[in-house]
Amino acid sequence: MTEELFREDATLPTCTATVLAVDEIGVVLDRTVFYPLGGGQAGDAGTLTTETGAVLAIADTRKHPGRPGDIAHVPAAGGDLAAFAAGTRVTARIDEARRLAHRRFHTATHLLCALVPYPVDGCSITAGYARLDFHMNEALDKAALNAGIARLVAEAHAVRHRWIGEAELDANPQLVRSMSVQPPRGLGRIRVLEIEGVDLQPCGGTHVANTADIGAVVVTKIEKKSAMTRRVVLGFAEPSPAHPDQAFPHGTGSAGP
């Protein structure tokens, strides 16, 4: 079982940990700051470093498919695992620029949920863009959405998480906005993300602490994916340190994912 330090503090860049297991999926630690792919949000990248200085580049992070509760740190191609046997003490460090991009985009998707009052049936959050699929057939206005996002960012709403019981969730079914990602059951408690006065829904992802920290995120594209699906794509309005090639200068770019 990997202790999930990122659930309580999404700003932690590093932690010490002990290797529990190594297999074809990756390196499992007893605790980690690496977020595993889930809830639409991409997994973290970074490095694991032993006390003797061996460094392993981590390309991605996944919930281990064969070890429930464990998180696998997926080595970059060609990584040498020789120094990372079970029992080894390591320092885990995430790629902070990539994580910050995830946190900004992820929090921005919550703003979109507040602006577009329809169920969500798909979501993808990366360091270069985010997209959200809404179950609806009405048209969406890009300028109006951008004005709404800019207003909610400027209003600087506090963002915080808390844990509720399953009974409380069942008593408030309107909390569940997503059709495709239901909150995990059977753990006794569910993490809820609140943007004060704006949005409240179950979410296990990483977010910024205030909507002001989202900065310049804009809608770059709106697509009709099907009769009942409208896809909204978000991008940075300034170059992202993690993915400068995927930036959308001044928010007017039409190219993108």
| Shortest distance in whole angstroms from residue 128 CB to Zn ion | 18
Between 202 and 235, whose beta carbon lies closer to Zn ion? Answer: 202
Between 46 and 205, whose beta carbon lies closer to Zn ion? Answer: 205
| Shortest distance in whole angstroms from residue 158 CB to Zn ion | 15
Between 56 and 234, whose beta carbon lies closer to Zn ion? Answer: 234
- What's the chain's Rg over C-alpha atoms? 19
| Residue 31 contacts residue 2 (beta carbons within 8 Å) | yes
| Shortest distance in whole angstroms from residue 203 CB to Zn ion | 3
| Shortest distance in whole angstroms from residue 38 CB to Zn ion | 11
CA distance 104 to 94: 16
Between 48 and 200, whose beta carbon lies closer to Zn ion? Answer: 200
Which residues of the shown chain bind Zn ion in the complex (CB under 5 A)?
A: 193, 203, 205
What are the backbone dihedrals phi and psi of residue 251, each rounded to the nearest 5 degrees, phi first?
70, 15
Task: Please give the residue whose beta carbon sits closest to Zn ion in the complex.
Answer: 203
Q: Which residue has the tokens 């029992």?
A: 87
For residue 150, CA distances in Å to 13, 100, 146 come to 28, 19, 6
- Print the SS3 string covering 20-36: EEECCCCEEECEECCCC
| Shortest distance in whole angstroms from residue 110 CB to Zn ion | 6
Between 26 and 205, whose beta carbon lies closer to Zn ion? Answer: 205
CA distance 8 to 31: 13
Closest CA to 130 of 37, 202, 231, 34: 231
